[in-house]
Structure 1
Amino acid sequence: MQAMKFNKISLGFLMIFSCGLLGLTSCKKYLDIVPDNVATIDNAFTLRNEAEKFLFTCYSYLPKDGNPLFNAGYMSGDEVWTSLDEREFISYGWHIARGGQNAAQPFLDAWNGFYGGGGPGDNYGLFKAIRNCNIFITNIEDRSKVPDLSLNERQRWLAEAKVLKAYYNFYLIRKYGPIPIIDKNLEISAPESQVRVKRAPFDECVNYVSNLIDEALPDLPNIITDRSTELGRITKPIALAIKAKLLLTAASPLFNGNPDYSGFKDKDGVALFNTVYDEGKWKKAADAAKAAIDAATTAGFKLYQFPGTTFKLSDTTLRQLTIKGAVTERFNQNLEHVWANPNSRTGDLQLYAMPRLTADVVVGSARQQLAPPLKIAEMFYTRNGVPITEDKTLDFSDKYALRKATASERFYIKDGFTTARINFDREPRFYADLGFDGGVWYKYDSPTNSDEGTFYVQAKATDVAGANNFGWYNETGYFIKKVVDWNMTNGKNGATYRDYPWPEIRLADIYLMYAEALNESLAAPNADVYNYVNQIRARAGLGTVEASWSAYSTNPTKYTTKDGMRSIIQQERMIELAFEGSRYWDVLRWKRATELFNQPITGWSIYQGTTADYYRVRTIFSQSFIAPRDYLSPIRTYDLTVNPNLVQNPGW
């Protein structure tokens, strides 16, 4: 009877806030356990085994960030482009990037789970996730429920559910700004006035999420000891990293004293943003990031280093395998993955990124659809570790001119191959992250069993990786090498991709969060700011910030000022975390979208077959980012109709 009542109110906004008995459907795979259909909540909390299935249901709502079609940050900005054919590749994020977002049927609607907002299936919204977390917490807090559950395990499960609930709230906050806070589910008989929940002010939302994480911390493990079945479950370093990301977001210009939101109020006139800048928020963010670093270090996390191989490889290639492996190495061998999500795999991501390297590769088994624009290629440093616009020893004034590679460059560019000047004299991350016409692409099945005379990309129109297959081609002439595991093999019968769980948070990300927040909280950068940036640069084969700018930059004292170091840290983040879905959210919170997302998307003339014709820059699309509207996602118009107490985000 109760299940019938739930069905009657399951349409629209009311479904989000009612707590009627939940008919659990089979959720997405998590730790190889698929919950059974459960008729009532009471059955779900009779025995430990059933309650654990409900906990895994709470995990199952984690966004599928390992797939670029469902990672809200992957293609919604300017970092990755694709072709208009959209052959077996419908990216709602890319529709947002092209100005298609709308309030009637929002793309990547995490509020309700529609149009890619809940992953492969609709109606998988994060308020539904929060509701399930609330159900779990309420029942596990009742010690008369699940009698065969030990006290220690009960406390740990409660802590996990609280952090998951905090993360879902943070995800919504980052996307929508102020949201309704649903700390407890409403009874099915709750009056209409209670069901129509209002959005809470932004700072209140942040404090609520931060407090949830603080409540959970004492009962979370530092590390996962049962690595065969529990990898990916919440630990103390994960919880602290989420808190650091939350507070960094709250301290950033979009949300900290933004005058654009001065008139943004609810229906009762309550201001939803505090438009007075608070430098203390940066101090809180820095402290949170440092706590996350300390917890991760105690738990044994460190920056990834490629362990080596029996193949004879140059130091140049080994460096690239280290840079790539920080993302692609599986987390049971990768101590940089503070949080990797086994519920989000990367097979499709690699398929979409991989170019055809030989004619033997079956068309469609390497689809080469993910295409970074030319400006992303230009973003990476020179080999001296400074921007191409600042390097006083390397001339990039004619960056699109043609140049022939020499034998000394053979581990980066095919010896004797002619390509654009922009592809020469770049930092190791450029070559580890990007494939391009003439660029070497070493992987496990190299025909020479080494990086001498190995694979390289041939991307002109008539070449194997050229624009000669409907929909399965690269729109800009740059390919994403970073996300394709080096163990990938291809042949006449297809391709084999070694899957890996998506790294939600890497230690390098936390290092950069700390450096950024600390720099903003000080009058000028100190040794700690430099140290955490320099550790990442050292892994990438670059000199320190201090040495590189002093020796090679036309602005040699840039790193000594707060503003200058801010610019360096932001570029370092965009390089180090490239193609991981981070750039979009960073550009928004830095309030730089009107600068970066209003630049044209450009690439090479991919339909041309000769060198001279191919290396002509063409404009693919002119982006238009409208501020302040596009900084926050719209709430679906239907939800505003069902709940008149909700207010829409500015501009929508």
Structure 2
Amino acid sequence: MKNINIIFQSKEKPGSLKFASILVLILVCMSSCKKYLDIVPDNVATIDNAFTLRNEAQKYLFTCYSFLPKDGDPITNPGYMAGDEIWSNIEEREFISPSWRIARGNQNSDSPLMDMWNGLNQGGGGLYRAIRTCNIFLENVQDLSKVSDLKLDERQRWIAEVKFLKAYYNYLLLRMYGPIPIVDKNLDLDATQEEVRIKRMPFDQCVDYVSNLLDEAIPNLPVIITDRTNELGRITRPIALAIKAKLLLTAASPLFNGNSDYAGFRDKDGIALFNAVYDANKWVKAAEAAKAAITAAEGAGFKLYTFPGSQFKLSDTTTLQLTIRGSLTERVAQNPEHVWANSNSLAVFLQQVAMPRLMKGTDPIPVGVARQQLAPPIKIAEMFYTKNGVPINEDKTLDFSNRYSLRKAVKAERFYIKEGYTTARLNFDREPRFYADLAFDGATWYKYDSPSTSDENTFTVEAKSTQLAGANNFGWYNETGYFVKKVVDWNMTQSGSGATYRTYAWPEIRLADLYLMYAEAKNETLSSPSSEVYEYINRIRTRAGLQSIETSWTNYATNPTKYTTKDGMRSIVQQERLIEMAFEGSRFWDILRWKRAAEMFNQPITAWSVTQPDEQSYYRVRTVVNQNFVAPRDYLWPIRSYDLTVNPKLVQNPGW
């Protein structure tokens, strides 16, 4: 479980990833243990041998960890491209993303994409297989007659870790499928056919089950990792509390809390799988859980990241951008914001497909140094605030009604946009996170190997069709004219023959995420926002170089009292979350749980005319595709049709 702090030379993305597949839940329950021995390290001959000595049992512990999704890869992260945040080009050159095919309306029930239930179609190893593996571990390690050389305190910690993992895998299933079958213990090999046909449990009961598992795990988890050389990435108490907060926030959200669309959703025995009555107390529980997670994280030393400086002379503007980018990309050993950095998932390929070509000679053949395939639509660029910290359509001092017109950058803007360069008005007068997270035609892109050794006269993205980062290389081009700068570590270096990316463990939980969760939940428990709600949002805004909510809205917004109402603050919190968590795989799940997907995923995906060579033709808005999100069907993943045939007690999600 070591955190790998090394420098990677970029390589070609391997061909299609190969994952083991399994049958549906009923077959999982009926199969013998020996079927799964391929996942026990070192070819341990039997399950009994796997739990005779500490060293072998520890290998099985790490097997339980091995199912953690590799969310730092945009292909294997199920929510990274399933919504509207990132687009790509239709050629899919060495970048075949099933989740992006979901975004284009290709999800189905015969062979579901990103099928994490079974582990099919880029669904990883299958979460029910992961749960079964955890059950095997718990059954054996909880037996004090086994693993005789395992000390009691270490035994308790390992049990707690696997209870957490089991809870987390169930949470991921809940988030995708809603009500799920609960497999708390593996069935005996001689179980009857009736016993192995397990039903889906009502959603609220599933939430209680996962929450209770986390509560059982939390007391025996370490507060911090002391052996950072060997144990970074293993589960701690703040991590478990953070996932409990995420679980309860999801359960409190409109998709799962009083959703009338699911009022008639029942199993074959007539039992309702959702409670269609709104429960305000769910928000109270979510707020309490988020506050507990914050208290634990801050008590363990976690805090918002700030860039510590470098040997180079940098402007305050660039230093702030490196703070914002570093909150995601700075490696865990130097990053106090990463409450949970998943060392099972390293962000290497993600950086390659985000990176534009910035210098001559860096053609992506043969090492794929800068494929520039991740492309946020124009509406994502429009989502970020103005420099005054309010939405572009609410700023009374800046006019964005002509945002697609052209404007030339002046010297004072050179750390954002190349001096003298003409680009869209949309790209001017924006908040620091806009320039830290995104790049565009004319944008500056400072990194370690800057030719000037400073942020003066540094790299610039030039993205018209005849320019270096333009759409002129089959399949390796940017579809929209916006590039994802946020995910690329600033230590990335290029040469005429290749590139070096400094990798980092993917942060599953940042402290900023916890602050946002608490502000959202707390606002829902009140009749009007409190100073505490403002405080936790303002901590993030201050780090992002913005004034407080109160100051920004009072002085610059067309509706200066918006932040004083519960509904107004809900809108502010949601936009703040979409901005702060941009390009981290959060937006898709947030929009689903807010029950806003029918609104937001049915808007056209628009882009600049990237195949054009000059300013006037390039800066014409075009529609790439009109998305089609079908509600309520698309809010939940389909269960594979074959699973319903094998297990007649299962029912399909509505609309599928």
TM-score range for the pair, normalised by the shorter chain length? over 0.9
Paired with 2:400 and 2:335, the residues of 1 have a C-alpha distance of 37
Paired with 2:27 and 2:240, the residues of 1 have a C-alpha distance of 28
Give CA deviations for 1:412-450 in whole Å, capped at 9, x if unaligned: 000000000000000000000001000000000000000
Paired with 1:404 and 1:360, the residues of 2 have a C-alpha distance of 28
Paired with 1:468 and 1:305, the residues of 2 have a C-alpha distance of 37
Residue 485 of structure 1, aligned match among 489, 506, 509: 489
Cα distance change, pair 111–395 in 1 and its aligned pair in 2 (3 A):
same
Equivalent position of 1:291 in the other structure: 292
Q: Percent identity?
A: 70
1:60 counterpart letter in structure 2: S
Q: Say whether 1:51 aligns with 2:57.
A: yes
Equivalent position of 1:78 in the other structure: 84
Equivalent position of 1:13 in the other structure: 25
Q: Say whether 1:578 aligns with 2:582.
A: yes
Residue 95 of structure 2, aligned match among 89, 98, 102: 89
Equivalent position of 2:259 in the other structure: 258
Give CA deviations for 1:146-172 in whole Å, capped at 9, x if unaligned: 000000000000000000000000000
Paired with 2:315 and 2:146, the residues of 1 have a C-alpha distance of 60
Paired with 2:38 and 2:29, the residues of 1 have a C-alpha distance of 21
2:69 counterpart letter in structure 1: P
Cα distance change, pair 425–158 in 1 and its aligned pair in 2 (3 A):
same
Paired with 1:407 and 1:514, the residues of 2 have a C-alpha distance of 41
Where in structure 2 are the equivalents of 1:521-532 lying within 5 Å? 521-532=525-536
Cα distance change, pair 330–26 in 1 and its aligned pair in 2 (3 A):
farther
Residue 417 of structure 1, aligned match among 417, 421, 425: 421
| Partner SS, residue 341 of structure 2 | strand
Residue 66 of structure 2, aligned match among 36, 60, 63: 60
1:403 counterpart letter in structure 2: R
Give CA deviations for 1:528-571 in whole Å, capped at 9, x if unaligned: 10000000000000000000000000000000000000000000
Where in structure 2 are the equivalents of 1:367-386 lying within 5 Å? 367-386=371-390
Cα distance change, pair 167–292 in 1 and its aligned pair in 2 (3 A):
same
Instruction: Verify the 8 A CA contact 1:24 1:37 in the aligned structure 2.
Output: no
| Partner SS, residue 138 of structure 2 | helix
| Partner SS, residue 407 of structure 2 | strand
1:419 counterpart letter in structure 2: T
Equivalent position of 1:314 in the other structure: 315
Paired with 2:321 and 2:226, the residues of 1 have a C-alpha distance of 31
Paired with 1:17 and 1:539, the residues of 2 have a C-alpha distance of 49
Give CA deviations for 1:280-306 in whole Å, capped at 9, x if unaligned: 000000000000000001100000011
Where in structure 2 are the equivalents of 1:239-388 lying within 5 Å? 239-363=240-364, 364-388=368-392
Deviation, structure 1 residue 485: 0.2
Give TM-score scaled by structure 2 length. Answer: 0.96
Give CA deviations for 1:451-504 in whole Å, capped at 9, x if unaligned: 000001000001110000000000000000000000000111111110000000
Instruction: Verify the 8 A CA contact 2:57 2:147 in the aligned structure 1.
Output: yes
Q: Say whether 1:218 aligns with 2:222.
A: no
2:423 counterpart letter in structure 1: T
Deviation, structure 1 residue 20: 2.7
Equivalent position of 1:165 in the other structure: 166
Paired with 1:199 and 1:552, the residues of 2 have a C-alpha distance of 50
Give CA deviations for 1:358-405 in whole Å, capped at 9, x if unaligned: 122132310000000000000000000000000011110100010000
Cα distance change, pair 644–479 in 1 and its aligned pair in 2 (3 A):
same
Instruction: Verify the 8 A CA contact 2:325 2:487 in the aligned structure 1.
Output: yes
Instruction: Verify the 8 A CA contact 1:23 1:38 in the aligned structure 2.
Output: no
Instruction: Verify the 8 A CA contact 2:71 2:345 in the aligned structure 1.
Output: yes
Equivalent position of 1:449 in the other structure: 453
Give TM-score scaled by structure 1 length. Answer: 0.96
Deviation, structure 1 residue 24: 5.1
Paired with 1:449 and 1:23, the residues of 2 have a C-alpha distance of 57
Deviation, structure 1 residue 16: 2.3
Paired with 1:265 and 1:598, the residues of 2 have a C-alpha distance of 28
Paired with 2:63 and 2:70, the residues of 1 have a C-alpha distance of 14
Paired with 2:139 and 2:227, the residues of 1 have a C-alpha distance of 27
Q: Say whether 1:475 aligns with 2:479.
A: yes
Instruction: Verify the 8 A CA contact 1:326 1:334 in the aligned structure 2.
Output: yes
Instruction: Verify the 8 A CA contact 2:37 2:45 in the aligned structure 1.
Output: no
Paired with 1:429 and 1:186, the residues of 2 have a C-alpha distance of 51
Instruction: Verify the 8 A CA contact 2:25 2:128 in the aligned structure 1.
Output: no
1:17 counterpart letter in structure 2: C
Deviation, structure 1 residue 23: 5.1
1:378 counterpart letter in structure 2: E
Instruction: Verify the 8 A CA contact 1:19 1:187 in the aligned structure 2.
Output: no
Equivalent position of 1:116 in the other structure: 122
Instruction: Verify the 8 A CA contact 1:290 1:514 in the aligned structure 2.
Output: yes
Equivalent position of 2:135 in the other structure: 134
Equivalent position of 1:177 in the other structure: 178
Q: Which moved more, 1:582-591 or 1:492-501?
A: 492-501
Equivalent position of 1:31 in the other structure: none
Give CA deviations for 1:55-92 in whole Å, capped at 9, x if unaligned: 10000000110000011111000000000000000000
Equivalent position of 2:145 in the other structure: 144
Deviation, structure 1 residue 15: 3.2
Deviation, structure 1 residue 36: 1.5
| Partner SS, residue 308 of structure 1 | coil
Paired with 1:235 and 1:19, the residues of 2 have a C-alpha distance of 33
| Partner SS, residue 528 of structure 1 | helix
Q: Which moved more, 1:363-372 or 1:271-280?
A: 363-372
| Partner SS, residue 423 of structure 2 | strand
Q: Say whether 1:99 aligns with 2:105.
A: yes
| Partner SS, residue 344 of structure 1 | strand
| Partner SS, residue 27 of structure 2 | helix
Paired with 2:468 and 2:513, the residues of 1 have a C-alpha distance of 36
Deviation, structure 1 residue 189: 1.0
Paired with 2:525 and 2:31, the residues of 1 have a C-alpha distance of 43
Paired with 2:470 and 2:589, the residues of 1 have a C-alpha distance of 32
Paired with 1:130 and 1:49, the residues of 2 have a C-alpha distance of 22
Deviation, structure 1 residue 35: 2.4
Cα distance change, pair 298–26 in 1 and its aligned pair in 2 (3 A):
farther
Instruction: Verify the 8 A CA contact 2:22 2:129 in the aligned structure 1.
Output: no
Instruction: Verify the 8 A CA contact 1:23 1:40 in the aligned structure 2.
Output: no
Paired with 2:554 and 2:23, the residues of 1 have a C-alpha distance of 62
Deviation, structure 1 residue 25: 6.0
| Partner SS, residue 346 of structure 2 | coil
Gaps of 5+ in 2: 1-20
Deviation, structure 1 residue 26: 6.4
1:169 counterpart letter in structure 2: N
Equivalent position of 2:649 in the other structure: 645
Deviation, structure 1 residue 11: 4.0
2:606 counterpart letter in structure 1: T
Equivalent position of 1:439 in the other structure: 443
2:610 counterpart letter in structure 1: I
